């Protein structure tokens, strides 16, 4: 499959991000946000199946071909929210929809909950709320994060002698994917180095979070959603295992559909991508 897209770089006031543009310039505006350690290729199968939309599929900061954050900076999830707002400003979009997978879905919910006047619709794939932490665990979590930061300088990224070795590693990674999906992500996510290939991603992305939202904080964003929201749950994915998810969804106006497949069901194969597209096409194009 050879999707038609335009590769662009977006010079924001504080960082330069890369993105794939899909669809007509006058299409309904949508910003597509991938998961942790993935990249814009996450939407390579899905985006071409969503006609009539102008989709900006970002590489998040530190991922894919986007810049890494400056030395001394971190990758707090709310900083991604600011990045997305700045991308919308670049395109002159005062109101837009969000298509998010996993971490991208979480960023979407945070933005829509905080600034409901900016987000028209939310289309979420196997993601809703961040991992949370309660007050009593905060000192321990900060200690773990500080120790990991201090140790990072002594660590090196893995180098794979062959491209296929990196693909196999990605297949077994967090949110395991099919070989075809791993190849799509690797084609965008790898760079050549002496001895083979390594990932473009910023090593700081693997550091533990020094501070997490409490469950009450995270649920407040979901409860504050005002735009129409459609959530696709993967039957063999990661979201259904979150404690209290079904109870929360019973309280809020979030339309949900359970589909067969794993966490990357929109990318693993053509059939999964079509099932997700069938859910989101009428939803995203509704007035």
Q: Please identify every residue annotated as catalytic.
A: 102
Quote the CA–CA distance of 244 and 254 in Å, as a whole number: 15
What the block records as the tokens of 10 is 């977006």
Under DSSP, the state recorded for 209 is P
Burial 213-246 (b: 16+ CB within 10 A, else e): bebeebbebbeebebbbbbbbbeebbbeeeeebe
**What is the separation of C-alpha 125 from the centre of its chain, rounded to a whole number of angstroms?**
9
C-beta of residue 66 within 8 angstroms of C-beta of residue 87: no
Nearest to 192, CA basis, from 214, 218, 216, 159? 159
The CA radius of gyration of the chain, in Å to the nearest whole number, is: 18
Q: What are phi and psi of 35, to 5 degrees?
A: -90, 175
Q: Are strands 255-262 and 229-236 parallel, antiparallel or unpaired?
A: parallel
User: Hey, is 112 helix, strand or coil?
Assistant: helix
């Amino acid at each position: 499959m050879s999707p038609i897209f335009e590769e662009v770089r977006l010079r924001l006031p504080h960082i330069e991000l890369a993105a794939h543009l899909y669809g007509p310039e006058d299409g309904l505006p949508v910003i597509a946000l991938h998961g942790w350690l993935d990249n814009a290729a996450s939407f390579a199968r899905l985006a071409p199946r969503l006609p009539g939309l102008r989709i900006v599929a970002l590489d998040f900061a530190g991922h894919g071909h986007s810049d890494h954050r400056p030395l001394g900076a971190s990758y707090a999830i709310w900083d991604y929210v600011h990045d997305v707002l700045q991308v919308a400003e670049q395109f002159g979009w005062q109101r837009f929809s969000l298509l998010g997978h996993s971490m991208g879905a979480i960023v979407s919910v945070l933005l829509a909950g905080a600034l409901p006047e900016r987000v028209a619709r939310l289309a979420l794939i196997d993601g809703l709320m961040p991992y949370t932490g309660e007050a009593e665990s905060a000192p321990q979590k900060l200690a773990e994060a500080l120790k990991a930061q201090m140790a990072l300088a002594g660590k090196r990224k893995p180098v794979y002698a062959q491209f296929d070795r990196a693909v196999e590693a990605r297949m077994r990674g967090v949110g395991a994917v099919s070989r075809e999906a791993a190849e799509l992500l690797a084609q965008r996510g790898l760079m050549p180095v002496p001895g083979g290939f390594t990932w473009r991603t910023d090593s700081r992305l693997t550091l533990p979070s020094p501070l997490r939202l409490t469950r009450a904080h995270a649920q407040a964003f979901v409860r504050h959603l005002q735009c129409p929201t459609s959530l696709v749950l993967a039957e063999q994915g990661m979201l259904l295992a979150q404690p209290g998810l079904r109870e929360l969804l019973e309280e809020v106006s979030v339309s949900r559909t359970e589909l067969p497949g794993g966490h990357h069901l929109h990318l693993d194969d053509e059939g999964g991508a079509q099932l997700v597209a069938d859910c989101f096409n009428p939803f995203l194009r509704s007035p």
